[in-house]
């Protein structure tokens, strides 16, 4: 019997191998060459001002917080308002830089609740990190407005949002920095990589230096027409966060199909909605312009349902457990909506290898499991 996984990447293998072969043929697999090509194509696709290819979105989140802290002269223990319902990379980035995550509550979209954010703003607040769970854009424009009205930096954790649009514009506009993930099971999958998109040119330049150990010229830039120029300067301690041409080659191919692939994901999600609406609570997206990285329902007896689905070769997931449950993020804040959803959300299988008939099977089995509890 066919196993139905929660997430699974799809690669156009022949095209990917052709792009990778170009790297092998010229003997350049590292930073530069395909990474530059991918950055330029990403800027064209998104209409964002800058794009720097990295080895992960997690690295991008760290660079975003670090660069903005230095730029705006934030002090240790200053606060960034953030969501508790996210992958831990989001809030690790705050702690890396000796800042304090200040958790606001979420709403039924699983995104930050604007009213909760407003209540959390104080004299130590310096920024807001917005996470678009599953690619959902709900509340993003309102959160940007709140940030601007209070002179706060806005960081967009767009790990799930490759291909999410608002009124025809790709997300990332009107924020200080956006970070996208091309991890192995994302909508635009590589093996692991990401893109950081600063609005400001100086911030982009700083990201490029810091991602290459603080060196002011990358190796590709120093290899002009085959002549290797060894001299460079190191301005500060940096990190080895840069991406490479093999991952970029996969990204270049994936980007060609992103709009088509996301539309298919929305078609699958709409089939779920048709099958389940009125029978189980669904996490709704704001519009039909989102990436639809995941499809989530809200259920009681979640662990029992996971076991029931698994015995029928259906393997769902959970995105995510609230970070405030972890010892690292111990907090006394009362976040009732986050607590409620954290214990009940379930991600149903959603990827390009699924058919509408697969969605029907998952829907039917889910409802059978709910009725058996």
CATH assignment at residue 291 = 3.90.1150.10
> Given 235, 256, 277, which residue is the final one in a domain?
256
Which residues, 6+ apart, have CB-to-CB distance to 18 below 8 Å? none
Per-residue pLDDT of the chain (373 residues; tens, 9 = 90+): 799 999 999 999 999 999 999 999 999 999 999 999 999 999 999 999 999 999 999 999 999 999 999 999 999 999 999 999 999 999 999 999 999 999 999 999 999 999 999 999 999 999 999 999 999 999 999 999 999 999 999 999 999 999 999 999 999 999 999 999 999 999 999 999 999 999 999 999 999 999 999 998 776 665 655 556 677 889 899 999 999 999 999 999 999 999 999 999 999 999 999 999 999 999 999 999 999 999 999 999 999 999 999 999 999 999 999 999 999 997 878 899 999 999 999 999 999 999 999 999 999 999 999 999 8
Q: Do residues 273 and 199 both lie within one domain? A: no
> Given 212, 232, 256, which residue is the final one in a domain?
256
> Given 199, 234, 256, which residue is the final one in a domain?
256
Q: Do residues 134 and 250 both lie within one domain? A: yes
**Residue 7 in domain:** no
In the chain the first and final C-alpha atoms are separated, in Å, by 24
Burial class (CB in 10 A: 0-12, 13-18, 19+), 32: buried
**Residue 121 in domain:** yes
The number of residues in the chain equals: 373
Residues 308 and 369: beta-carbon distance below 8 Å: yes
List the CATH number of the domain containing 62: 3.40.640.10
Burial per residue of 102-136, b for 16 or more beta-carbon CB atoms within 10 angstroms, e otherwise? bbbbbbebbbbbbebbeebbeeebbbbbbbbbbbb
Instruction: Kindly state the DSSP code that residue 349 receives in the 8-state scheme.
Output: P
Residue ranges making up the domain that contains 353: 258-372
In this prediction the pTM is 0.96
Q: Do residues 36 and 172 both lie within one domain? A: yes
Q: CA-to-CA distance for 215 and 240, rounded, in angstroms?
A: 10
Q: Do residues 282 and 238 both lie within one domain? A: no
């Amino acid at each position: 019997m066919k196993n139905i996984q929660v997430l699974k990447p799809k690669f156009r293998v022949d095209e990917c191998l052709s792009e990778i072969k170009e790297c092998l043929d010229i003997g350049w697999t590292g930073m530069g060459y395909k990474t530059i090509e991918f950055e330029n194509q990403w800027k064209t696709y998104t209409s964002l001002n800058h794009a720097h290819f990295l080895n992960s979105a997690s690295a991008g989140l760290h660079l975003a917080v670090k660069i903005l802290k230095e730029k705006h002269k934030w002090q240790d223990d200053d606060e960034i308002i953030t969501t508790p319902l996210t992958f831990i990379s989001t809030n690790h980035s705050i702690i890396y830089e000796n800042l304090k995550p200040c958790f606001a509550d979420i709403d039924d979209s699983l995104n930050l609740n604007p009213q909760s954010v407003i209540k959390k703003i104080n004299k130590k607040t310096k920024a807001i990190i917005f996470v678009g769970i599953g690619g959902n854009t709900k509340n993003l424009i309102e959160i940007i407005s709140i940030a601007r009205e209070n002179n706060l930096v806005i960081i967009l954790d767009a790990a799930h949002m490759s291909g999410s649009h608002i009124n025809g514009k790709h997300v990332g506009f009107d924020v200080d920095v956006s970070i996208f993930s091309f991890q192995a099971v994302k909508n635009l999958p590589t093996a692991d990589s990401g893109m950081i998109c600063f609005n400001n040119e100086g911030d982009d330049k700083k990201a490029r230096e810091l991602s290459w150990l603080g060196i002011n010229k990358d190796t590709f830039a120093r290899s002009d027409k085959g002549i290797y120029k060894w001299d460079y300067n190191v301005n500060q301690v940096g990190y080895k966060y840069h991406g490479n041409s093999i991952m970029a080659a996969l990204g270049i191919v994936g980007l060609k199909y992103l709009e088509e692939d996301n539309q298919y994901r929305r078609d699958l999600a709409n089939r779920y909605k048709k099958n389940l609406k009125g029978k189980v609570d669904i996490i709704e997206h704001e519009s039909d312009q989102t990436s639809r990285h995941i499809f989530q329902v809200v259920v009681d007896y979640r662990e029992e349902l996971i076991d029931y689905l698994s015995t029928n070769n259906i393997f769902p997931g959970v995105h995510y457990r609230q970070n405030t449950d972890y010892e690292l993020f111990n907090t006394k804040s009362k976040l009732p909506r986050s607590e409620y959803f954290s214990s009940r959300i379930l991600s149903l299988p959603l990827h390009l290898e699924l058919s509408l008939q697969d969605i029907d099977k998952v829907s039917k089995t889910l409802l059978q499991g709910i009725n058996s509890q």
